[in-house]
Amino acid sequence: MDRFDTLESGVRSYCRSFPVVFDRAQGALLYDDTGRRYIDFLSGAGSINYGHNNPRLKAAVVDYLQRDGITHSLDLATVAKRRFMDRFEQTVLAPRRLRYTLQFTGPTGANGVEAALKLARKVKRRRNIVAFSGAYHGLSAGALAVTSNRSYRDESFVTRADVSFLPYEGALGAFDTSSYLRQALDNPASGVDLPAAVILECVQGEGGVNVASTAWLRAVASACREHDVLLIVDDVQAGCGRTGDFFSFERAGIEPDVVVLSKSISGLGLPMTVVLLKPELDVWEPGEHSGTFRGNNLAFVAGAEALAYWDDPAFPHEIRRRGAVVARTFDRLARACPGAAARGIGLIRGLDVGDPALAVRARREAFARGLIVELCGARQTTIKALPPLVIDDAVLEEGLGMLEAAVNAALAVSPAAAEA
């Protein structure tokens, strides 16, 4: 790791938790440069839903490169883009009776969020945005303004004006925070300026795997409609099947005005972001939101191929089945760990152990056993599992066994020993 310490910026983070040099990967498995094998429950923070180097997706990209298919195209029309759009409409939108226009932005989820916020303000001619406690929408200026965790929100980085934070579901215990939103919008003296949009994650991944109920999501969507406010769903991490449905909002039966997809929309972890917007909202002038890398044709090729998984009606059921396997282990661990709580849906699961030091020990013990898991939540107390949606059952069970052993080992360490 010496070369990385010498040459790479100190801003790097994941490599501090997993200090080895990785060399290759296949499916749910990673291998370091010594050949040691690791089970990956991080999946590129949700970017590798279909597994590392998925053979079907990889073959499509290799074939495309072998025939000299165009790789970079700005926003020019290409065969690869056309095929992706056709497949997305036929496989995702039409069966769900959804009508969206596709906007390809810069390749990060944060850039998609920037575009969504910018468009909402342009459409409604209002500046305020409502975001929620626990939110993570990215760390560029506009996205950071709607990201709640104060560890990111240094005064040097973020403009705090034009964003109102309200409590996410569960943030105030049993109190229904959707009524808080409604009252804030109803009352002209609430101090919350009527927003252009409300932005939310149906499942807060970085916020601690907080899963909004269908009733809460419907109430928020209803309040937005009644007050002429756009609803933006950030589905960067929880979308593309992570919850068991393609979109995380499907279970609630709502139709957001704008949806941001990134991470696994490209299938192979290739950089790509698409913003879905209702056609009547497409008021952009040509080039008004631009970016050099908004035409990643390799991502279009892999993404179109990944959508073939959704032609199989059994695929979402398999995600839920594997999610139930993870949930059973997490529930058992929560019972064994005083004050812990298991949360999640589909194949995004979290175990909140309540103690940052315990969570760090558990992650360290897991890595020592050959399992990669990360932490999340306001105080980094939640162990998060994001295994590939297509993970082999035997590998999934092996990884869960490693995690259970790691948590038990972490619990067995006395506070005095942990401090030492």
Q: Which CATH architecture has domain 58-311?
A: 3-Layer(aba) Sandwich (3.40)
Residue 196 and residue 126: Cα distance in Å, rounded?
A: 5
Which pLDDT belongs to residue 295?
A: 82
Which pLDDT belongs to residue 418?
A: 56
Residue 157 scores a pLDDT above 80? no
Q: Which amino acid is at 167?
A: P
- 159-216 pLDDT per residue, tens: 777 999 999 999 999 999 999 999 999 999 999 999 999 999 999 999 999 999 999 9
- 260-289 pLDDT per residue, tens: 999 999 999 999 999 999 999 999 999 999
Residue 417 scores a pLDDT above 60? no
Q: Which amino acid is at 241?
A: G
> Any idea how long the chain is?
420
Q: Which candidate, 337, 109, 280, 329, places its Cα nearest to that of 201?
A: 109
Return mean pLDDT, the chain.
95
Q: Give domain limits for the chain.
A: 2-53+314-419, 58-311
What's the Cα-to-Cα distance from 255 to each of 80, 191, 273, rounded to whole Å? 28, 28, 19
Domain 2-53+314-419: which CATH number of 3.40.190.10, 3.90.1150.10, 3.90.1170.50, 3.90.580.10:
3.90.1150.10
Assign 419 a pLDDT band (cuts: 50, 70, 90). low
Q: Are 264 and 48 contacting, i.e. CB atoms less than 8 angstroms apart?
A: yes
- 45-98 pLDDT per residue, tens: 999 999 999 999 999 999 999 999 999 999 999 999 999 999 999 999 999 999
Which pLDDT belongs to residue 155?
A: 74
pLDDT mean over 237-241: 98
Residue 312 scores a pLDDT above 60? yes
Which pLDDT belongs to residue 156?
A: 75
- 95-154 pLDDT per residue, tens: 999 999 999 999 999 999 999 999 999 999 999 999 999 999 999 999 999 999 988 887
The answer to whether the Cα torsion of 283, 286, 288, 289 is positive or negative is positive
Which pLDDT belongs to residue 149?
A: 92
pLDDT mean over 358-379: 97
